[in-house]
Amino acid sequence: QVQLVESGGGLVQAGGSLRLSCAASGSIFMTKSMGWYRQAPGKQRELVASIGSGDTTNYADSVKGRFTISRDAAKNTVDLQMNSLKPEDTGNYYCKYTKWPNLEYWGQGTQVTVST
């Protein structure tokens, strides 16, 4: 089993910044990727950013140039630096850990609210 603990959410004004962190523990091996997803009220959960075992990154078009994902493989953590936040970035942000070949684990989520 893998346990994921997220932190760093909160309330911020539009244009502000937040940094989310996710710490993985437990059966950490054969890591395929780690990433952040978000879900706004009434909408489906969507990919925000992910980082693979080779540190290749993937971003949603809506956050490119504003968000940066980074990983510390030694500490089994993944961070999401979010700058120039917009009200449409509001949602519950979830950390996901994927193990080869495709076994997924999810965190409990952390709320991000961006006010106008």
- Rounded mean pLDDT, 18-40: 95
**Residue 53: predicted pLDDT:** 78
pLDDT-based confidence at 20, cuts 50/70/90?
very high
Task: Tell which residue, 26, 22, 18, has the closest CA to residue 1.
Answer: 26
**Tens digit of each residue's pLDDT (9 = 90 or more) over 62-88:** 999 999 999 998 999 999 999 999 999
pLDDT band at 10 (very low <50, low <70, confident <90, very high): very high
pLDDT of residue 115: 97
Between strands 10-13 and 110-115, the pairing is parallel
Give me the mean pLDDT over the 24-49 stretch.
94
- Is 82 strand, coil or helix? strand
Predicted confidence (pLDDT) at residue 54 exceeds the cutoff of 90:
no
Cα–Cα distance between 107 and 23 in angstroms, integer?
9
Q: What does the mean pLDDT of the chain come to?
A: 96
- Residues with Cβ within 8 Å of residue 99, at least 6 apart in sequence: 2, 27, 29, 30, 31, 32, 105
In degrees and rounded to multiples of 5, residue 89 shows phi and psi of -85, -5
3-state SS class at 49 = strand
